[in-house]
């Protein structure tokens, strides 16, 4: 009788676990798996090309052992795997969390690079809102400024030039829209942004010409002359300077730079 009772006591936990179903058993077994085992399993799945299964393994590791060294390593893998799978929002989430928790770690620059790449891959065409493009610029700029010695800086700077060119192009598009509708003040503000913030892009030449147009239409001849003069000084052989010169010449004016103008100061500050 005593033996029978002992057997009931020993088997009761198993019976209770069985009542919970297979999923509960699997979870209990997983909870007992050391983080290094989960990590190696994730790496093995990744090596086999089973990216979804590998992602899930690293996500489980991070959930079960959020403060372990393996959780830290899993975040790097999660960012990479999600980026490879085109899951850009998840990539950015993992990258931002990593940089926040481990800003001094050697992989922090890589994580910022993946965040920038994720935004870069989602950049829309020039006719649409450029919020994602600005986020790409922010991520790449942060990488360059915080980790200037990183191996990822060279490519980040290359991507930044593309990003800035697109942002400058958007400002030009909106500026032309206002200019065509004779909303000259609004147009000037857009072209000013190009001259001040995106001066190294291909759009600055046209922006200076459009400033000449807009200021001249408003009767602010001094600024129109300055815009044309700065354009001629920096880009003398372009069609934009020829058009600016012709526009002023028809009214009896010539390009003449006012050193006190914001346009002149903007170029001298570079």
pLDDT 10s digits, 204-225? 999 999 999 999 999 999 999 9
Q: Which pLDDT does position 244 carry in this prediction?
A: 98
Whether residue 4 is predicted with pLDDT greater than 60 in this model: the reply is no
> In percent, how much of the chain has pLDDT > 70?
88
| pLDDT tier, 13 (very low <50, low <70, confident <90, very high otherwise) | very low
Residues 147, 181: contact at Cβ < 8 Å? no
Average pLDDT, the chain: 89
Map tokens 């919020």 to a residue: 131
This prediction has a pTM of 0.82
Q: Where are the domains of the chain?
A: 21-85, 86-181, 182-270
When pLDDT is averaged across residues 127-154 and rounded to a whole number, the result is 96
Secondary structure of 113-141 as H, E, C letters:
HHHHHHHHHCCCCCCCCCHHHHHHHHHHH
Q: What is the largest CA-CA distance in the chain?
A: 119
Q: Which pLDDT does position 270 carry in this prediction?
A: 56
**CA gap 133, 118 in Å, rounded:** 10
CATH code of 86-181, in short, is: 1.25.40.10
Of the chain, the end-to-end C-alpha distance in Å amounts to: 94
**CA gap 212, 243 in Å, rounded:** 10
Residues 172, 207: contact at Cβ < 8 Å? yes
**Torsion over CA of 196, 200, 201 and 204, rounded to 10 degrees?**
50
DSSP the chain: -HHHHHHHHHHHHHHHHHHH-HHHHHHHHHHTS-HHHHHHHHHHHHHTT-HHHHHHHHHHHHHH-TTSHHHHHHHHHHHHHHHHTT-HHHHHHHHHHHHHH-TTSTTHHHHHHHHHHHHHHT---TTS--HHHHHHHHHHHHHHHH-TT-TTHHHHHHHHHHHHHHHHHHHHHHHHHHHHTT-HHHHHHHHHHHHHH-TTSTTHHHHHHHHHHHHHHHT-HHHHHHHHHHHHHH-TTSHHHHHHHHHHHHTT------TTSHHHHHHHT-
pLDDT digits (tens, 9 = 90+) for 59-96: 999 999 988 899 999 999 999 999 999 999 999 999 99
Whether residue 25 is predicted with pLDDT greater than 90 in this model: the reply is no
């Amino acid at each position: 009788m005593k033996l029978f009772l002992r057997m009931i006591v020993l088997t009761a936990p198993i019976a209770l676990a069985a009542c919970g179903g297979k999923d509960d058993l699997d979870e209990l077994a997983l909870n007992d798996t050391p983080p290094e085992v989960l990590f190696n399993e994730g790496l093995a799945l990744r090596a086999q090309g089973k990216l979804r299964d590998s992602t899930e393994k690293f996500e489980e590791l991070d959930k079960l052992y959020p403060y372990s060294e393996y959780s830290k390593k899993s975040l790097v893998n999660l960012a990479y795997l999600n980026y490879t799978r085109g899951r850009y929002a998840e990539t950015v989430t993992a990258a931002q969390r990593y940089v926040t928790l481990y800003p001094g770690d050697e992989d922090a620059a890589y994580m910022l690079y993946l965040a920038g790449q994720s935004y870069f891959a989602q950049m829309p065409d020039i006719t649409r809102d450029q919020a994602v493009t600005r986020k790409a610029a922010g991520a790449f700029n942060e990488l360059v400024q915080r980790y200037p010695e990183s191996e990822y800086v060279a490519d980040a700077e290359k991507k930044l030039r593309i990003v800035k060119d697109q942002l400058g192009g958007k400002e030009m598009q909106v500026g032309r829209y206002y200019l065509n509708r004779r909303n000259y003040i609004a147009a000037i503000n857009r072209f000013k942004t190009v001259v001040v913030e995106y001066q190294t892009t291909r759009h600055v030449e046209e922006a200076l010409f459009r400033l000449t147009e807009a200021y001249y239409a408003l009767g602010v001849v001094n600024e129109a002359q300055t815009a044309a003069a700065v354009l001629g000084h920096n880009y003398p052989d372009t069609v934009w300077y020829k058009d600016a010169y012709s526009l002023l010449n028809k009214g009896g004016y010539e390009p003449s730079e006012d050193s006190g103008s914001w346009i002149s100061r903007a170029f001298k500050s570079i």
